[in-house]
Amino acid sequence: LTGVPSVTTGNKADFARHHIASELLQTEKNFVKILNLILKEFMSPLEQPGQRGGPILQHEEIKRIFGNIPDILNVHTRIMNGLEQQMAQWNCNSCIGEVLLKEAEDLLRVYPPFVNYFEMTKEALIQCDRQYPRFHAFLKFNELRVECGRQTLAELLITPVQRIPRILLLLQDLLKHTDSSHNDHTPLKHAVEALKTVMTNINEDKRKTEQQMHMFEMMKDIEECPANLLSSHRSFISRFDVVEVNSVTGKG
């Protein structure tokens, strides 16, 4: 892998650890590059003041499409920098787990909101693409840039959804090749658990959001539905179609 020093001495486990850590760093660099691309080529131009003909999109629409991508970028830039420092001075005692552990709280903060509302992100992107000819032209022009590698904005935006599972797999592989006596073993173990917690929270938040959406749909279908039916202490369990039976005739 380019930009990563090689290991010329050490046992088989050391070679394996270096290889996995190198892959983690390279994929992190690629991910940060994609996030920067999204901001530079798409989000920032849309936020630029004084656009000829007025704003291409309103602030609320930009927020719906891009969510908290800048926050995710900030966290992963720090992770990338931490990994680069470890790889630049790599030896058999190098510790990767601490790099991820330092960012565990922020990963837990930034990821559930983005992944949880990703379906809404896709819907907002499709809707704005259809509704605004200027935005459609803006998308097509920027998606053809060499930097985008023939990927659409929708394809670029899905990369954060895929990133945490990818990191988790690499950390689990690194832990498997790290002896229990190694100083990186405990930090790696805790980092794996931290990422599992992030994924659990993503899944739980997504489930809650889906329940709320079901509740909204039911409220629209029920005539004169009381407004207080939708409440934070209520949760969706199931839905059944029923027929009202006339108490006199016994007919529906």
The closest of 13, 158, 122 to 166, measured between CA atoms, is 158
Which pLDDT score, from 0 to 100, does residue 246 have? 66
Token couple for 220: 């629209």
pTM of structure: 0.79
Sign of CA dihedral 38, 40, 44, 46: negative
| pLDDT at site 13 | 86
Q: What is the pLDDT of residue 240?
A: 61
Q: Is residue 37 within 8 Å of 156, Cβ to Cβ?
A: yes
pLDDT of the residue at 221:
61
CA distance 193 to 108: 12
The answer to whether the Cα torsion of 231, 237, 243, 244 is positive or negative is: negative
One pLDDT digit (tens) per residue for the chain, 252 residues? 445 545 444 588 899 999 999 999 999 999 999 999 999 999 999 999 988 889 999 999 999 999 999 999 999 999 999 999 999 999 999 999 999 999 999 999 999 989 988 989 999 999 999 999 999 999 999 999 999 988 999 999 999 999 999 999 999 999 999 999 999 999 999 999 999 999 998 877 555 555 555 555 555 566 666 655 555 455 556 666 666 666 666 565
With 0-12 / 13-18 / 19 or more C-beta atoms within 10 angstroms meaning exposed / middle / buried, residue 226 is exposed
